[in-house]
Structure formats: C-alpha cells, structure tokens
Homo-oligomer: A and B are copies of this chain.
Amino acid sequence: MTDEKKLIAVIGGGECSAEEAELAEEVGREIARRGAILICGGLSGVMEAACKGARSEGGMTIGILPGDSRRQANSYVQIPIVTGMGYARNVIVVKSAQAVIAIGGSYGTLSEISHALQSNTPVIGLNTWSFSKNGKADKSIIRAKNAVGAVKKALSLAQK
C-alpha cells in the first residue's frame, strides 16, 4: 500500500451517555491530530461522536454500514462502506483496524472486542466490558484512563 496512515477503530454503543459521547469525541479528535484514519460502524452514539471529533480536526472517517444504503451513515462519515450484511459487518470493522478503542458499549461492542482479540488485534478499553472464564479474569483488554492515553496506546500497539 502506498500510504502509511494507520486505521484505528472506535467501537461502542449506537446509544450512549453524554459522558461516553464526550469521551468518544475526544478520542476522535486525538486520532485525527495524530494523523490516523478513524474507522467505525458508521451509525449513531459513540460512532457518531467519534466521527464528529475526527472531522473537527480535519481527519478522515470511514463507516462500515450494516444496512443497504449509504444514507444510513451519520453526518460525519466521509467514506461510507455499504455492506448490507447486518451485524456481520462488525467483523469487518475490527479486521480492517490496526488497533481498536472500545468505549462503553453493549453486546454488539462485546462481539467486536471478541472478534478483535480472536484476530490478535490490540483492544484498548475505556469504561467497557470485562470478562472472565471459570473465575479467572481475562486481561487481554488494555485499559486506558482517558482519551489521549487510549489513542497513544492504540497507535503504539497498532499492527503492521
């Protein structure tokens, strides 16, 4: 590939709290400031807030849409990719990213975290899921304290 801009995914709920939206917007801004490209599921909530942040800093935003129309994208998606594949598009969001930042989220976000870890893609967590098996905590999600810390970790761990 010609350019070496990194693709960082931001995942989280299509509905989110004001606090999560603020966090996502700051994550989006920081991704853009550091010259990376934001990829997400292209809808509302955390996805929209992150895209808004990235665009405010002149960054590029890609939305991998579940439905059949590019008009499903939030207003801050620059490049809508139309899959028509419903939730199976979650796999594409995380496979395309070199690192994933998870903010809050519901079961869709949990599926994306799982698919990322299954593909050995680094996952940075901000107030998101924890999980354990047979009483033993899984430590694969790298925890961050704030937006800037999350983006720094994502970029330093981003896979080639």
Contacts and interface: CB of A to CB of B under 8 A. Distances in A.
Contact of A87 (B1, B3, B115, B129): B115
Interface in A122-155: 127-134
B127 A129 contact: no
Question: Mostly helix, strand, loop or mixed at chain A's interface?
Answer: mixed
Interface in A81-136: 81-88, 91-92, 95-96, 98, 104-108, 110-111, 114-115, 117-119, 127-134
Given A3-B78, A91-B84, A118 B108 contact: yes
B87 A84 contact: yes
A2 B75 CA distance: 6
Q: Give the copy number.
A: 4
Interface residues on A, range: 35 or more
B96 A80 contact: yes
A160 B71 CA distance: 8
Contact of A114 (B64, B110, B119, B134): B110
Given A2-B61, A127-B133, 4 more contacts: A83-B92, A84-B85, A107-B114, A110-B117
